[in-house]
Amino acid sequence: MNATDSPLDKPAGPASSDAGDAASAEQDTPFTEQRTFGIYWLLLAVAAALLILLPEEAKWVTTKRGWYTQPMIGPAIGLSVLMIFTAVRLMISFRLIWLRSIDPIDSLLDTLSNYRVALFSSALFFLYINTLSVFGFALATLMFVTTLLWLSRLLDRFWFACTLGTVSALILIFRVGVSVWLPDVWLYELLPEDLATFANQYL
Amino acid sequence: MMETLLLGLSEVSNINVLLAILIGALIGVTIGSIPGLEPAGVMAILLPLSFSMEPLAGVTLLLGVYGGAWYGGAIPAILMNTPGTPVAVLTTYDGYPMAKRGEGKKALSIAYTASFVGGIISVMSLVLLAPLLSQIATHFGSAEFAMLAVLGMIFVVLAHRKHVLEAAMMLGLGIFLGTVGLDRSYNTQTYTFDQEWLLGGIPLVPAVIGLFAMSQAFVLLSQKGGDSQVTKLTGDGFFGGALTLLKHKITVIRSATLGVVMGLLPGVGEFGSQFFSYTLAQKFSKNPENFGNGEPAGLIASETSNNAVTASVMIPLLAFGIPADALMAMLLAVFMVHNYIPGPTLFAERPEFISGLYISLFMMNVIVFLYLSVATRWIVNLTRIRGRFIGAFILVLGFIGSYSQNYQFSDALIALGFAIFGYMLRKNDIPAVPIILGLVLGPVFLTRFKQALGVSNGDLTIFLTRPISLTLLSLTVGSILIYAWSQLKNRQTVTP
């Protein structure tokens, strides 16, 4: 390597940092051309809609205490900053968007494909929360983690045993040790009273 | 002084505090050793737990995780060429080539010793500078605090060098989110859409857990690949690092100083300090061509500087109540829950807490250093845990963390909402940290801004007529101008 070449010019590696800004800039990545900047359009639309709702959602108060005490000042500052910088960002990206035609259906399918793991996991997480009062923390957590591992093709005897061990540790730490309270569970109602009380308290 | 020290020692000798230091440090090292797992996420998960602990124990638990992770991050960086934490990126440049040529133990020893020296210098800077700056803070009124909050927010935005526009967007979003809820001055609702669960505002803990921990879980769940390729741990013992550091003492001092200074600047943090330290170490080196090929000075610069930030980053928080990054915003939440208001009054009213904090940080560095020096051969095995397995359990921990603060499932769903948004941000290289800073510093700014204008009957010149306020405002404007000038210069250099 040349003395003037800094290793800092190398790609930043697999980890990226928010604060550290290790991720590559737009102009550094060959994938830029593929981007539709959908998130910026979404943020712009949300900011605009919220700004339109400002008089409704942060009402003007009749007062002699001065304009600066109005409840709408804070949201107006925040939303204006969001909207202005999103608009500037989109204007800068406009050349890239303009240069190529966008097929909205293709674009939507690409986005869904990119986010499929997050979408599946979120749906399962939602289901997990709703099944907690049906199956209880222990069983619902075991089912949730096992399903996630199965979907990500990591479910074999070894990882299932690891899951069992980790779920047991979580129960010991949080349900027994820290006493995290959870509502009574439907399934435990089927058990004898003493056992049901124990299960509701610890499982 | 001696009395305060003794008070601090009695605070730390509490078994709960000792356990918090130990557990925090061990969790921190573990997190750092597992690539893909970030301390911010785990701190967010532990945040509700720390609320129920004694103030010093709660704070030291989180600080242990924070400090320990930077030490542990060197292990996968050196043995796998994969940074355990984002700030260990530069550690891979020289650490991994050393491991490849059979000097793995030496590289780890250098990394641990450099981190230890950086960490201790950082604690010393906290001990010396925090009380000094808190004395300055006694001269601060509302106008000064408002301007300090603005300066903090601007620094956070400018620190995201290549993503300044995105950071500004997210800061605006954070400021907006900080205003949602009941306006206490007039008892009116702001952007609640008549939803009762929004009356108390956007809860910080679920937001942080969603943005940092659960979104990271989605990233881990989408990871592919089998077992990690770990370079064999070979070479001399673990205690030779100190000698190498002595040979490069100038690099150590320079990197530690840079780390301390960078820690004082909101948003700049570990990566900024590491970058500058590494660049300077290379510039001043007799063998700059060796950098990137296993040069110990590069490893020393990188590891000393990132650990020198860990305590100095607390100085703005302790002295002014202004968090420099999202992790410090979480610590501020712990302070607030226990009604410990950072600033000069905390130094005057709770000297035993402050002194205890210093001693805990010192102990944390010693514990982590000793633990790593002895247990690395076993810790290395953590690098083999599959990301998908960790991801699944982070979601469970995210649920426990967000739910257990108020025992409301709605908080877990708020965390899920922020997780999806956080994942979208990660996919689009948009920083999430400014959202949290906006959420925390936005209300500070708005409250102080209103108070200052209340004093001056709405006269905006109050921010110009008070010397400290004017200085802070000048720093803000100056920082923006310097950034704009550097951008313009860069563009002119690129364009022929």
pLDDT, tens digit, for every residue of B65-105?
Answer: 888 888 888 888 888 887 777 777 788 888 888 888 888 88
Predicted pLDDT of residue A103: 66
Predicted pLDDT of residue B209: 87
| B308 pLDDT above the threshold of 70 | yes
In chain A, what is the straight-line distance between the N-terminal and C-terminal CA atoms, in Å? 59
| A14 pLDDT above the threshold of 60 | no
Per CB-CB distance under 8 Å, the chain B contacts of A92 are 165
CA distance B48 to B58: 9
CA distance B324 to B316: 7
| B220 pLDDT above the threshold of 70 | yes
Average pLDDT of span B327-339 = 83
Facing A15 at nearest CB: one of B89, B162, B188: B89
Determine contact, residues B350/B11, Cβ cutoff 8 Å. no
Asked if A63 reaches chain B (Cβ–Cβ under 8 Å), the answer is yes
Asked if A69 reaches chain B (Cβ–Cβ under 8 Å), the answer is yes
CA distance B37 to B56: 25
| A4 pLDDT above the threshold of 70 | no
Percentage of chain B modeled with pLDDT above 70: 95
Determine contact, residues B69/B28, Cβ cutoff 8 Å. yes
Average pLDDT of span A52-68 = 86
Average pLDDT of span A85-106 = 74
The chain-wide mean pLDDT, for chain A, equals 78
DSSP state of B135: H
> Minimum mean pLDDT among A133-137, B19-23, B144-148, B379-383: which range?
B379-383
Q: What are A71-85's pLDDT values in tens digits?
A: 889 999 999 999 999
Facing A66 at nearest CB: one of B267, B386, B458: B458
* Contact yes or no for A1 and B289 at CB 8 A: yes
Q: How close B137 comes to chain A (CA, Å)?
A: 25
Predicted pLDDT of residue B224: 73
CA distance B160 to B51: 31
The chain-wide mean pLDDT, for chain B, equals 85
Measured CA distances, B358 to B17, B52, B173 (Å): 13, 22, 35
Q: How confident is the model at residue A37 (pLDDT cuts 50, 70, 90)?
A: confident
Predicted pLDDT of residue B88: 78
Q: How confident is the model at residue A155 (pLDDT cuts 50, 70, 90)?
A: confident
Residue with the larger pLDDT of the pair B424 and B226? B424
Q: How confident is the model at residue A2 (pLDDT cuts 50, 70, 90)?
A: very low
* Contact yes or no for A21 and B160 at CB 8 A: yes
The dihedral sign for the CA sequence A156, B218, B87, B101: positive
Residues forming a β-bridge with B182: B189
> Minimum mean pLDDT among A26-30, A168-172, B140-144, B403-407: which range?
A26-30
Q: Which of residues 93-112 of A touch B (CB under 8 A)?
A: none
Predicted pLDDT of residue B225: 63
Query: In 3-state terms, what secondary structure has residue B278?
Result: helix
Q: How confident is the model at residue A3 (pLDDT cuts 50, 70, 90)?
A: very low
DSSP per-residue letters across A20-75: TT-SPPGGG-GGGGG---HHHHHHHHHHHHHHHTHHHHS-----SS-GGG-TTHHH
CA distance B175 to B437: 8
Predicted pLDDT of residue A5: 43
Q: How confident is the model at residue B335 (pLDDT cuts 50, 70, 90)?
A: confident
Predicted pLDDT of residue A23: 35
Per CB-CB distance under 8 Å, the chain A contacts of B94 are 7
Q: Which of residues 87-126 of B touch A (CB under 8 A)?
A: 87-90, 92-94
| B263 pLDDT above the threshold of 80 | yes
How many C-beta neighbours within 10 Å does residue B375 have? 12
Q: How confident is the model at residue B179 (pLDDT cuts 50, 70, 90)?
A: very high
Residues in chain A, total: 203
| B222 pLDDT above the threshold of 60 | yes
Predicted pLDDT of residue B216: 86
* Contact yes or no for B160 and A6 at CB 8 A: no
| A182 pLDDT above the threshold of 60 | yes
Instruction: Look at residues B312, B322, B363 and name the one whose alpha carbon lies nearest to residue B124.
Output: B312
Question: According to DSSP H, which parts of B182-268 are helical?
Answer: 204-208, 215-221, 241-247, 249-264
Q: How confident is the model at residue B117 (pLDDT cuts 50, 70, 90)?
A: very high
Per CB-CB distance under 8 Å, the chain B contacts of A35 are 428
Instruction: Look at residues B167, B140, B338, B358 and name the one whose alpha carbon lies nearest to residue B266.
Output: B167
Q: How confident is the model at residue B279 (pLDDT cuts 50, 70, 90)?
A: confident
CA distance B481 to A14: 33
Q: How close A15 comes to chain B (CA, Å)?
A: 5
Asked if A180 reaches chain B (Cβ–Cβ under 8 Å), the answer is yes
In chain B, what is the straight-line distance between the N-terminal and C-terminal CA atoms, in Å? 62
Residue with the larger pLDDT of the pair B197 and A36? B197
What does DSSP say about strands B188-190 and B181-183: parallel, antiparallel, or unpaired? Answer: antiparallel
Residue with the larger pLDDT of the pair B268 and A22? B268
Predicted pLDDT of residue B494: 60
Q: Report residue B330 CA to chain centroid gap.
A: 9
Predicted pLDDT of residue A141: 93
Q: Report residue A173 CA to chain centroid gap.
A: 26
Per CB-CB distance under 8 Å, the chain A contacts of B409 are 129, 132
Q: Which of residues 212-231 of B touch A (CB under 8 A)?
A: 217-218, 221-222
Asked if A145 reaches chain B (Cβ–Cβ under 8 Å), the answer is yes
> Minimum mean pLDDT among B38-42, B365-369, B421-425: which range?
B38-42
| B53 pLDDT above the threshold of 60 | yes
Percentage of chain A modeled with pLDDT above 90: 30
* Contact yes or no for B446 and A23 at CB 8 A: no
Reduced DSSP (H G I as helix, E B as strand, rest coil) percent helix, strand, coil of chain A, to 5: 70, 0, 30
Predicted pLDDT of residue A10: 46
Q: How confident is the model at residue A12 (pLDDT cuts 50, 70, 90)?
A: very low
